[in-house]
Amino acid sequence: MGWNLPLMPGKTRLVKPISCTSLALTLAAGDIAANIFGKKMRRARRVMGQEMARKDSFDIVIIGAGPAGLGFARALSGTGISIALVETQSQSVLEDPAEDGRDIALTHTSEKIMRDLGMWERIPADQIGTIRDAKVLNGPSPFALHFESKGSGADYLGRIVPNHLIRKSAYEVIKDQPNVTLICESEVTSVETDASGGNVGLKDGRQLQATLVIAADSRFSTTRRKMGLAASSLDFGRVVIVCEMTHELSHDDTAYECFHYEQTLAILPMFGNKSSVVVTLPSARADAVMQMGAAEFAADIARRFEGRLGAMKLVSKRHAYPLVGVLAKEFVTTRFALIGDAAVGMHPVTAHGYNLGLSGALLLAGEVRSALQNGRDIGDLTGLKSYEAAHKRAVLPLYHGTNALVRLYTDNSLPGRVLRDAALRLGSLLPPVKSRIQRQLTHIESHVR
């Protein structure tokens, strides 16, 4: 369903946080400069080929060109900061990412950030789903937790966008930025930092020096490990199977989270009569479900959803992902910071992952901009610690709360079932509780005009 993360850091004496409005104005100015110099830069790149990738000194080196790394680079457009983006995949993959079955639920905050970064306008309108209502069901219990956009101050709770289109738009907004150098198909073999700077060694022998090094290379970050930052991981012993399905009846822009015994089913409304389907089940059963024929699988999902959408049809590949939550104990160290899933990798049940990654990237970019504006070192540990403190204030309650929710709704013992039912009753009968949960999940209130 929708997720939320406060964007602004806590009170500090050193940092003036960047707002979405000021970010949009700054990026607009940066885009004007980029348009002026862009043609010359692109011409030089065509002539020089890979020469720019051989430049060994940058202000910032970002390891990982996923949505968080690309978003962070874009948020620094117009600053004059030189950035190297190191990625193991080819540039052609970044230009046109493969469909991976994942559809991302976006909060109002994330939508606003994506608009400011120029990403939103690059996503086709007929690929954007809208969540106006959301329901949480617990097995055969008659009680359901129902979140409605009506009365919330907004027309909808959140959006649904395919992950590969988010990745594509994130690449498109940085590919022609004159301050960004993409180094693709490159493996990082070493990372070191000290008080004077950072050094990133590549497999081909190149050495990249930087004032600040950023890791954005997934929840299983090898860079984090190389830098000696410990992380706790929680293997849920489950696999999530994701796909897209069309259906006979309208979803009415309603998202469902259905907690069945031994299996969880989420139905997220996409554009038209199509939904993103997320099945979570014990790892031992995943292979059998993946091997089902398309018609058998579709009939099984329709049955588990009690025919609410009528006949259903599988219209995409099924993709299976193991469920492992990861939380780095520290997000920063000397001239080094973690963003995105490298900092925190969430369980998808409350759908916070991408929203946290995007907001965290913007938060760190705000610290870097503030350092520049105040004549400070962009790699100074004081600013990095400010980012870490603000991001942890948002991340820790969501991470631990989500894990507790997962444990509760996957406990099939009698006490667990009773407690689940009681929790739904409490949420349904106490409007203030439900309203607080809704605000936390959607972040509507900050963007109502």
SS3 per residue for the chain: CCCCCCCCCCCCCCCCCCCHHHHHHHHHHHHHHHHHHHHHHHHHHHHHCCHHHHCCEEEEEEECCCHHHHHHHHHCCCCCCCEEEECCCCHHHHHCCCCCCCEEEECHHHHHHHHHCCCHHHCCHHHCEEECEEEEEECCCCCEEEEECCCCCCCCCEEEEEHHHHHHHHHHCCCCCCCEEEECCCCEEEEEEECCEEEEEECCCCEEEEEEEEECCCCCCHHHHHCCCCEEEEEEEEEEEEEEEEECCCCCCEEEEEEECCEEEEEEECCCCEEEEEEEEEHHHHHHHHCCCHHHHHHHHHHHCCCCCCCEEECCCCEEEEEEEEEECCCEECCEEECHHHCEECCHHHCCHHHHHHHHHHHHHHHHHHHHHCCCCCCCHHHHHHHHHHHHHHHHHHHHHHHHHHHHHCCCCHHHHHHHHHHHHHHHHCHHHHHHHHHHHHCCHHHCC
Domain contains 15 = no
Query: Do the domain assignments include residue 92?
Result: yes
pLDDT at 188: 98
157 and 242 share one domain: yes
Tell me the sheet residues that pair with 82: none
Instruction: Count the domains in the chain.
Output: 2
Counting as low any pLDDT under 70, the low residues of the chain are 1-55, 139-144, 261, 349-351, 405-449
pLDDT digit string, tens, across residues 157-190: 999 999 999 999 999 999 999 999 999 999 999 9
Please report whether residue 319 resides in a domain. Answer: yes
Tell me: do 90 and 171 sit in the same domain: yes
Residues 127 and 249 in one domain: yes
In a shared domain, residues 125 and 272: yes
The reply to whether 359 and 396 lie within a common domain is yes
CA dist., res. 68 & res. 73, Å (int): 9
| CATH number for the domain harbouring residue 27 | 3.50.50.60
Instruction: Give residue 345's domain range.
Output: 20-98+166-232+325-404
Whether residue 222 sits in one domain with residue 173: yes
Is residue 122 in some structural domain?
yes
- Residue 32, pLDDT score: 57
Same domain, 55 and 125: no
Which of these three, 369, 387, 404, is where a domain ends? 404
Residues 246 and 316 in one domain: yes
CATH number of the CATH domain containing 114: 3.30.9.10
Same domain, 246 and 385: no
Confidence (pTM): 0.83
Give the pLDDT of residue 369: 98
pLDDT in tens, 259-315: 876 788 999 999 999 999 999 999 999 999 999 999 999 999 999 999 999 999 999
Quick one: tokens of 82? 């030189």
